[in-house]
Structures are given as C-alpha cells and as structure tokens.
Amino acid sequence: MPKIRSFSAPWLQEPNPGHKLFEQAEETNRLPASIASSRNASQGPNRTIAHRGNEVFVARGREIRWGDLADLKDAWEAQQSRTGSASHLNGDSSDSSFEVYDEETSRLPQGPGYRVIKTPVASEIRQLVISPNKDQLAVLTSHTVHVCMLPDTSHLTSGETAPFKPKFWTVGPTTHVTSKSAVVSALWHPLGVNGSCLVTVTEDAVVREWELSTIDRWSFDTPTLEVDLKKLADGTSLDQDFGASTSTNKAFSPDDFDMKVASACFASRNSNGWAPMTLWVAMAEGDVYALCPLLPRRWSPPPTLIPSLSVSVAQKIETLETDPEATREEKLLAKQQLEWMADLDNQEPKLLDGPYGEVTEVYSRPSRPGSIPRLQGPFELAVAPQDEQDDEVELKDIFVIGAKRNTADLMMGEDFELYADDDDKDSLSVSVICLLSTSGQVKVCLDIDGVEAQWLPPRNASTRAFPDQDVPSLLVFHTFDTLKPAEITPDSWPVFSEDVTTRYAFYVTHAAGITYVSLAPWVSLLESELQSDSEAGADFRFDLMAKGQRAEVDRIYTPQHAQNVLAAATAFKSSDLGHFVLSATHNDPVIMFFDTPESELMSDRQETPVSTEHGETPEPLTVWEPRPLFHPSEVLSRPSTLPPWVDALRTSRKRPLMQQEVRLSVATLEIFTESHRLVSSEVFELNNAVAELFRKCEALTYELKEQITKVYEVNQRIETISGEGESRSTKEQNISEEMLVRNRIDVMKVRQENLARRVDNLRKRLGQVSTRELSDKEKAWAEEVRTLAGSILGDEEEEEDTTSASISTAGKSLKRFEEVQTLRDALFEQAQQLQSTDSVDGTASPMPVMKIPSEIRKQKVAQVMSLLDRETALVEAVKSRLERLSIE
C-alpha cells in the first residue's frame, strides 16, 4: 500500500476558511453528535463528497459547498507569507483577503476558493454522484433525486460572494417522492451519450433509466425504461409487462424481504464484452443479481466494444453448431444474441461532437429480441461454512471490477496490434465482484463463467420455460474482515470507494475507520494461471495460490470518537496537491497524504526540473511517524442548554415559582429534577471531553520528547557524516561547512577513481586468464600445422591412428632431409681433409685446383637446387595457407 506521509492539511483546518466547507449545517448544529451520527447511519450510504479535478463538492445538510483545494492552499500559503512579513515589520498579523465567520448570522463566508451552492432539496443530502463528463451532479436525499447542471469553474471563481444558484432539475417528481420507496443508488450509465443517462435503483427493486436532456423537460419526468425486478424474476416470456406497479395498496409478498435492494453497480466503460452494460444488484438478504444487457435508448460504445462482441458471438455460434451435446436453451440464447448483433450491425451510427472535441458514435438500442433483458440470479456463492454470516448481517454495498479487453482475439489476423492501456497489462480476464456486509466482511468473488446477454424466450409453448437451466454461480476467491467484533454495529452502512492509482484497489469506509484494500498481490499470478494451457496439477496450483496469496488489507484511519459517521473516502491525485484521500466527519475533514512512487517522482523531475537557487526547495524527508490530528470534543464549544431552558421556564405556567422563595412543593421538585437532569448530562459530557483532552496533552509530552530524541540522533549522524562534529571539537580549526563538504567530495572522488582503476586492472587480468574456445577453422589449421611439423621434423609423438597417406608423405620428406644432411656431412669432411693436408705441409701454398668432372659438378648442383626449390615451395605453401586463414 502507499505510505502515509501526513494526516494534516493546514489549509483545511480550523480556523482557516477551508475548514468552513466541512462544518455542520445550521439545522444540525444544535443536535448532539451521537444523535446526528445515529440518524445519518440509519438513513443509508453517506457519499457526501464528490470532486472534479481539484474542485470538491461537500454536502452539508440541505446545501452544497464548493471549494477549489488548490486555490485554498495557495491562498493559505500567501496568507502565511504575508502574516510572517507583517509580524516582522509591525507585529500586525491580520489579513484582509479573507472574511471571518459571522457568528451572529451563522453564515459561511464567501471568498477565494469556496462558495455555497443553494439547492431546492427539502431534506438532508445523502449522496453526491458526479457524471462521467463532470458537467452534471446527481444530488440524492433518502427519497428524492435532483440533477445540478454544474457551471464552469470560471463562474464559481468570479469573485462574487453571494451563494451560487445553478440550474437544478428534479428527476421523477412524481416517482421519487417520500411516500414511495427510498432510493438506494443512482448511477451514471457508462455507455450513455455524453454521460447523460442516469439509472436509479429503489429499495423495492425497481430499476429506472432516465435519458436526461436540458432541452426536453419531459426527460426528467418520465423514465425511458422501467423494470420491476420482482416481476422480472417470475417472468416467463418477453411479451409480459415488467413495469413498476402504480397502485399504492400492496399485498404481502415474500419478495419484499428477499429482494430488498442494498446497492447496485456498473463496471467501468473500458471493460471487456458485456461487462459495461451489466447492472449488478446486491440484495440486503445476501442475494446477487445481474441484468444484462441494460442499455439506454441511445448509447455510445467505445471503439472496441462492438467488434469484440461480434467476435465472441460468432465464436459461440460456431462452437454450438459443431457441438452435439448443445442444449436447446443454449441454441436459443445464441440465436437471440445473433439477432441482437444483427440489429446492431444494420444500424448506421450517428456522429456527435464529444465534450473534448472527440467524435462520438451513437447507436440505438436493438429492438430484437427485446429491450428488457432477463434477470440472472440469484447467484450461488461458494462459501465455506466458517465464512457464512449470521442472519442478522446484511449486504450493504457492491463493487465490480470489469474484465480486461481481449485485444488478441479482436486483432487476430491483422498486421498491427491494437494499443492496450496500462491498466489492461496486469489485469484479469474475468470480472471481480466485491460484496460488503454490515459486519465489515468483504467477499471477493470471481465471475468465472462470465455474464452474457440473456432474454426471456418468446411466447411459444415449445420454448417458454427452461426447467433444466443451471443456476449461475460466483467463485468466492477471498474473504476478509475490515472490522473487529467490538466495532460492529447493526445500523452501520459501510461503503466502497474507488482508488485513482489502480483499478484493483479500493477503500472501505465505515464508522470505525477507513481501510485500504489492494488485490494486486494475486491478480497477476491468477491471470497467468488462467492463461496457462497446462492442466496438470491445476487444482493443486489454484488451491495453493488461494491459500498463499492474500489481499493487502490495512486500516489507514481510525476516528477518535466512535459515534462519528465518516463520509465515503474520495481519492485525489493531481500535480498541484499530490496523492491523497479525503473524507469528513460531521464537523471536521479527514485527509491522508500518500508518498508518490519513486518512478513518478523521477518522471516529474525530468519533466519539470526544480531550481534550488531561486525556486522552491524540495520538501525534506520526514523522520517521524505521521499521526491523525486530534480534534477536541465539540462539547467544549457547544452552547449550554440551561439558559434557554430557564428562559422557557420564565414564560411557562411555573413562572410564579421563579419570583418567590424556594418552597417545598411538587412543582419545585419537578423544576429541580429537570434542571438536575440537564446539568448532570452536560457535566458528564464535559468531564469526558476534558479527561480526553488531558490524556491527549499528557501523551503529547511523551511524543514530543520522543521526536526530540529522534531529531537529535539524526542531527548527530549528519554532523558525523559531514565532519562538523570533529571541527567543533577542535577549536583551532576554523573551517566552514562548505569547505568540509568540498573536502569530503574530493576524498570521495579520489576513492572513486582508485576503485575504477582497480576494476579496470581486474578486468584486464580476467581477460588474460580466461581463454575462449577455438573455432572449427582454428582447430583445423592447428591440426594441419602439427601434421606439417611432423612431416618435416619427424615428430616421434605422432599418434598411432594417423592415416597411411600422411605416414608415406612424412617418410618421403624425412628421407630427402636425411640425404641433404648426408651431403652436408660429406662436404664438411672433404673441407676438413684439405685443411689438415695444408697444415701438415707447413707451406702456405695456394689451394690446388681440384679437377672435378663437369658432369659430377652439374649433377651435384642440380641436386642442391632441386632441394632448395622443394624447401622454398614448402615455405611458400605454408605462408599462403596462413594468409588465407587470417583472411577467413
């Protein structure tokens, strides 16, 4: 998991203006924290934070507060710099760029970086869901849905101080009302045209699609598609009516308990196959359903979606045609998918301009076989007995990670490969479904079979019912708990939140804290096993992997007060603010900054080099462990209820008792009893708050001593490394820190040069010692040289297995060499005899002319010349062979 760097953002803490974004609303400011938190927990999920880049939208009560976090941070830094300069000049630390909070009117001040957005809602806002194009914001209460047309950032940062009133539309003014079922989820369809299709799911299992258009008011009043899942679960043919019932009188039905919706979810737009158009619905009782394909009337697919569906449907048709064991239901399903694809292929898409200058292809929803798909489920979960939950535990949220796009099958036979995103490289080829229960238990399930498009059969007696159809199932790959047994509360509503760094990481937010979960440790390993063609020992490998590899689960935040209800964690990642997670209690923000990975830091440094002379200095490394901020209990700042009670008592029927002496009576006893109850409750809360503050202050002293000790140790190490400690011990040496650093750098350079020289010498020695093997040509040449040496010199160690041809050649050459030696010896003997004769006579007479016959002389000379010619020829032959070998 990413390492937490800090738990604080000074520009969002009290008394800075950024803290006003997270303060309580006016209507809940007078309620005790325990009552407000219990009321918020029982009304559904708490997703009150949404963001658009660095802009954040925070719901407080019935209003939305907008703030630009980057502007708030810059304004706070500018204020700090001006405050510091003013304090040095004249001691004035005031800053006129910010307006203070008006205690009399209890209004949020307007200023740079934040504004108030007025809403027409009549009750507390529970969820904020921003559209994919970041231009619309769905605002949900417990029973109503509104859509806010978000203005451009320039309109919110125009400098005006009045509350901003954008255009609001009420979705389903006669459908989503307080007299009907509550709204549990509002989802922007991933395939909607320019992100304008909103899907609402109510608690009574009714799914509605709203294709919103600002120029058509009727699109906000009537849904384009309405499906009652309870009716669809019992449906038998396509021609039935699956719309929601309009009657208010409802009879008892077991489906009201078994199909009570807890949450719903879509996969991402870039998922493979049918995943982007599959709505997953989690029921409170633990059942999971899928609705595929659920499409708006006009939808825009990504470029690779329709080709991938065509390939998968064609492969399925080809497989069923050659499979003799194919059932009637499978053939009917393949036929319906083929009709659906044929209707889609016959369409000519319309081209629309996208939000960023892109061209979007818009298709119409195929009318065949039908617009309402079949309800698949309930899925059977392969849960071990020790993982089964109690009857009182309910599902609260569902999170789906779609399968990666299969570009290999799509580009089969093409000359080029389709570009794959970085997220698809280490992704699974199956969908991952995560289920979250009230107890904080997370079940990670794998959709091994893959959910495909299904429709009910047409009204035909032969194909009306599928009695032998298999029950779909999900493989429970991993189960873990995010809550301790003491932290479990029956009225809590934990929720999932996406991460911005990887698709296989998410956050679980509950009343006891925020937990980070990463599935990356086993995703790549599981994908390699799924793609492996070998089936030998597959069961053993899967079992070993399931028991060995676990998800990375870590609690990153725990609130100080257990009664606080945390907003769903929202992940941010920007170049201005960094990587952090933002949440909020009922009165304070909760923020956690993470360290940026080293690879991203290196890339950022290469793209934007930092100047240390005139620019900002890089942030130093921290040597302490980050800790969550301590917020004193709001009981210390809450006004007492005793003065209002006294004022009310003076205007009540007991007013005469307040103007006379205290007498023993029943009315006096009632007054004292009521006052004692009020005072005792307030004193009890104050005692607890003061005791908590005292314990924190006492612990802070020990933590401060520990930090001072650590800083002192680090300082001593730095002085030892830089040599500053030695210079201080020797007072005669007056050397600056710059000289010490330079001297140490010079020493290190000399040491580096010596090490480089030693490495070069070792490399040379190793090059001399280590000899490589001879090639075939070199071995042949060496053998020829040895044969020639043996033929000339008569090598006695010649091997016995030498061929007869080489032996005969060597014998002839040796015989000729012996004849030359014999002639040389004979000539030396004759010369010695002549010398000895002259020495005996003792006269220095000239050498007598020896009369040698001309025939003998010519014969001897010819014999010597022939021998010389042979030797010359042999030398030339060896020389030419050596030259050829060197050239080759």
Q: Cα separation of 263 and 182, whole Å? A: 12
Model confidence band, residue 626 (pLDDT cutoffs 50, 70, 90): confident
The pLDDT score that the predictor gives to residue 854 is: 77
Most confident range (mean pLDDT) of 665-674, 744-753, 869-878 is 744-753
Q: Are 35 and 601 in contact, with CB atoms under 8 Å apart?
A: no
b/e sequence 213-237, b meaning 16+ C-beta within 10 Å = eeeeeebbeebbbbbbbbbbbebee
**pLDDT tens per residue across span 259-310:** 899 999 999 988 888 999 999 999 998 899 999 999 999 999 988 889 889 8
Average pLDDT over residues 175-185: 90
Rounded distance between C-alpha atoms, residue 440 and residue 488, angstroms: 7
The predicted-structure confidence for 148-158, as pLDDT tens digits, reads as follows: 998 888 777 77
Question: Residue 397: is its pLDDT beyond 70?
Answer: yes
Same domain, yes or no, for 685 and 784? Answer: no
Q: How many Cα atoms within 13 Å fall on the side-chain side of residue 22?
A: 24
Q: Which pLDDT score is estimated for 866?
A: 87
- Evaluate whether residue 728 is within a structural domain: no
**346 falls within a domain:** yes
Which of the four pLDDT bands, split at 50, 70 and 90, describes residue 799?
very low
Q: Same domain for 667 and 813?
A: no
Give me the percent of the chain exceeding a pLDDT of 70.
Answer: 75
Give the residue among 447, 472, 565 at the shortest CA–CA distance from 35. Answer: 565
At 452-480, the pLDDT tens digits run: 999 988 876 454 545 556 788 898 888 89
Pairing of strands 136-140, 145-149: antiparallel
Question: Alpha-carbon distance 197 to 187, whole Å?
Answer: 8
Residues 719 and 783 both lie in one domain: no
Is 50 exceeded by the pLDDT of residue 604? no
Is position 479 within any domain?
yes
What does the alpha-carbon distance between residue 297 and residue 366 come to, in Å, rounded to a whole number? Answer: 9
474 within 8 A of 382, measured Cβ to Cβ: yes
Average the pLDDT over 777-806 and give the result: 66
CA-based nearest residue to 525, from 551, 498, 499: 551
Average pLDDT over residues 432-460: 89
Model confidence at 340, pLDDT cuts 50, 70, 90, reads very high
CA 752 to each of CA 720, 747, 758, 844: distance values in angstroms, whole numbers, following the listed order: 21, 9, 10, 82
Q: Are 106 and 26 in contact (CB under 8 A)?
A: yes
39, pLDDT greater than 70: no
How far is C-alpha 598 from the geometric centre of its chain's CA atoms?
A: 15
pLDDT at 497: 94
Burial label, 353 (beta-carbon count in 10 A; 0-12, 13-18, 19+): exposed
Are residues 307 and 193 both part of a single domain? Answer: yes
Coil, strand, or helix at residue 263?
strand
Out of 69-73, 243-247, 866-870, which region has the weakest mean confidence (pLDDT)? Answer: 243-247
Q: Which residues pair with 283 in a beta bridge?
A: 261
Exposure string of 795-829, with b = 16+ CB inside 10 Å and e = fewer, is: eeebeeeeeeeeeeebeebeeebeeeeeeeeeeee
Mean pLDDT for the chain?
A: 79
Best-predicted range by mean pLDDT among 28-37, 559-568, 697-706?
697-706
Residue 688 belongs to a domain? yes
In this prediction, residue 185 has a pLDDT band, given cuts at 50, 70 and 90, of very high
pLDDT digits (tens, 9 = 90+) for 828-838: 888 888 877 76
**Three-class SS of 690-710:** HHHHHHHHHHHHHHHHHHHHH
CA–CA separation, 886 vs 888, rounded Å? 6
pLDDT in tens, 677-687: 888 888 888 88
Cβ 277 vs Cβ 337: under 8 Å: no
The answer on pLDDT for 169 being more than 80 is: yes
Could you tell me which of 724, 757, 717 has the C-alpha nearest to residue 743?
724
441 or 533: which leads in pLDDT: 441
**What DSSP string runs through 52-111?**
ETTEEEEEETTEEEEEEHHHHHHHHHHHHHHHHHHHHHTS----TTSPPPBTTTTBPPPB
Helix (H) or strand (E) holding 808: helix 804-841
Residue 746 has pLDDT above 50, yes or no: yes
Residues 164, 50: Cα–Cα separation, whole Å: 17
Query: Residue 129 above 50 pLDDT?
Result: yes
- Is pLDDT of 77 > 80? yes
Do 385 and 239 fall into the same domain? yes
Confidence check: pLDDT of 101 > 50: no
Last residue of a domain, one of 723, 741, 758: 723
Which strands make up the sheet holding 375-376, listed edge to edge? 261-266, 279-283, 288-291, 375-376
End residue of a domain, out of 449, 469, 492: 492
Cis check: omega of the bond before 355, within 30 degrees of 0: no
Rg (CA), the chain: 45
Q: Are 718 and 781 found together in one domain?
A: no
pTM metric for this prediction:
0.71
pLDDT of residue 724: 58
Q: How far apart are CA 787 and CA 839, in angstroms?
A: 48
- Which of the two residues, 209 and 410, has the higher pLDDT score? 209
User: Which among 492, 523, 549 is the end of a domain?
Assistant: 492
d(CA 456, CA 240): 10
Does the pLDDT value for residue 888 go beyond 50?
A: yes
- Looking at the predicted structure, is the pLDDT value of residue 602 above 80? no
- Answer whether residue 844 is part of any domain: no
Copy the structure tokens of residue 394.
Answer: 């309910």
- Between CA 192 and CA 300 the distance in angstroms is 6
* 231, 297: one domain: yes
Higher-confidence residue: 582 or 784? 582
Residues 361, 447 within the same domain: yes
Specify the residue for token string 């297995």: 801
Phi, psi of 365 (to 5 degrees): -65, 125
Q: Looking at residue 642, what is its pLDDT?
A: 84
3-state secondary structure 621-648: CCCCCCCCCCCCCHHHCCCCCHHHHHHH
Note whether residue 593 is domain-resident: no
* C-beta neighbour count of 246 within 10 angstroms: 7
Q: Is 820's pLDDT higher than 70?
A: yes
Domain that residue 885 falls in? 776-794+806-826+860-888
- Range of lowest pLDDT (32-41, 271-280, 638-647, 867-876): 32-41
At residue 96, the pLDDT reads 38
The two beta strands, 578-584 and 570-574, are antiparallel
For β-strands 298-299 and 359-364, DSSP reports them as antiparallel
Window from 56-65, 225-234, 235-244, 377-386 with minimum mean pLDDT: 377-386
Is 646 within a domain?
Answer: yes
Same domain? For 784 and 692 the reply is no
* Residue 661 in tokens: 């002496």
3-class DSSP string for 507-554: EEEECCEEEEEECHHHHHHHHHHHHCCCCCCHHHHHHHHHHHCCCEEE
What is the pLDDT at residue 412?
Answer: 53
The DSSP annotation for 180-216 comes to SPPEEEEEE-TTBGGG-EEEEEETTSEEEEEE-BTTB
Confidence of residue 99 (pLDDT cuts 50, 70, 90): very low
> Looking at residues 588-597, what average pLDDT do you find?
84
CA pair distance 145, 177, nearest whole angstrom: 9
Length of the chain as a residue count: 888
Determine the average pLDDT of the residues in 493-522: 91
338 plus 192 within the same structural domain: yes
Amino acid 731: pLDDT: 46
Cα distance between residue 626 and residue 615, in whole Å:
27
362 or 409: which carries more pLDDT confidence?
Answer: 362
Number of domains in the chain: 3
- Residue 282: what pLDDT? 94
Whether residue 611 is contained in a domain is answered as: no
Q: Are residues 782 and 882 in the same domain?
A: yes
Amino acid identity, position 654:
K
655 band by pLDDT with thresholds 50, 70 and 90: confident
Please check whether residues 373 and 308 belong to one and the same domain.
Answer: yes
Spatial neighbors of 280 by CB under 8 A, at least 6 apart, are 264, 265, 266, 267, 288, 289, 290, 398, 400, 433
Distance of CA 310 to the CA centre of its chain: 30
Is residue 245's pLDDT more than 90? no
